[in-house]
Amino acid sequence: MNFEAIQMKQEGEVLVVTISRPEAMNALNQTVLRSLAAVLDWVEGSVAEAGIRAMILTGAGEKAFVAGADIKQFETMTPSEALELARQGQSLFTRLETLKIPVIAAVNGFALGGGLELALACDFIFASDNAKFGLPESTLGLMPGFGGTVRLPRRIGAGLARELTFTGGMVGAQDALAMGLVNKVVPQADLLNEATKVAKVIASRAPIAVAKIKASIHQGASLSEDKANELEAKLFGELFATEDKKIGVAAFIGKTKPAFTGK
């Protein structure tokens, strides 16, 4: 299953999506954005049929996850065209962020500009030990436009987000781990295996429950505590109508391993 500049490989219940423009350090251009949209279309329509329960997003090669946007396109871009580009990227990344299945970003090398914004739209990030993160748009007279100024402060706090975006500087994998930007740092050779291992654990859990947990965390972040608790209670109650709840509870009581069906 290949799209232009993107490769897909399914390993059991885990889908690995690889952005593949190694000659341009996997930089985002219209081809990649359109292909990512097509990938999400396919995933949204095929999750149940294909048995996909978790997804990993990574970049081809050892140098970069996604090194940013294709800067050459900015040379002649008008303000109205830039506005439309930002809206396109934001809409696409929101689709990724709200995808029903969990998405792990496996960052191998540079995740700069739009690359970091793409990783931030995933549920969490695993990084190789040579990974570098940054939003360097201010060095170009620009600012992040694909959700970077929205998601980064929510991930690491406003103070650190301001420092990174104002200076346009980069941080290495260990600093990214310390500030809570990434969940785990591993040797580059182990990155995909580690991400796959965790994705398989997630895939073994009840998929409807995982989807509702993801929705509760995402939607609850923008609600008051009372409203967020109300949402959580609603979703909790809905799970009692699922077959997976019966399977899980029966397996626990019977001390067996549950085999969730996603129903």
Read off the pLDDT of residues 96-139 as tens digits, 9 standing for 90 and up.
Answer: 999 999 999 999 999 999 999 999 999 999 999 999 999 999 99
Per-residue pLDDT at 72 exceeds 90: no
Q: What pLDDT, on a 0 to 100 scale, did the predictor assign at position 1?
A: 64
Q: What is the DSSP string of 22-74?
A: GGGTT-B-HHHHHHHHHHHHHHHHHHHHHT--EEEEEESSSSEEE--B-GGGG
Read off the pLDDT of residues 24-35 as tens digits, 9 standing for 90 and up.
Answer: 999 999 999 999
Window from 21-25, 158-162, 213-217, 232-236 with minimum mean pLDDT: 21-25
**Mean pLDDT value across the chain:** 96
Our answer to whether residue 137 is catalytic in this structure is yes
Q: What is the pTM of this model?
A: 0.96
CA distances from 145 to 80, 98, 108, 162 (A): 13, 19, 23, 15
Point out the catalytic residue in the list 75, 84, 137, 232: 137
Our answer to whether residue 117 is catalytic in this structure is yes
The number of beta carbons lying within 10 Å of the beta carbon of residue 129 is 14
CA distances from 238 to 11, 44, 233 (A): 30, 21, 9
CA distances from 30 to 27, 146, 148, 197 (A): 10, 14, 19, 32
Point out the catalytic residue in the list 23, 44, 117, 230: 117
Choice between 263 and 48, residue whose per-residue pLDDT is larger: 263
Q: Which domains does the chain have, with CATH numbers?
A: 2-203 (3.90.226.10), 207-254 (1.10.12)
Distance CA 15, CA 102 (A): 11
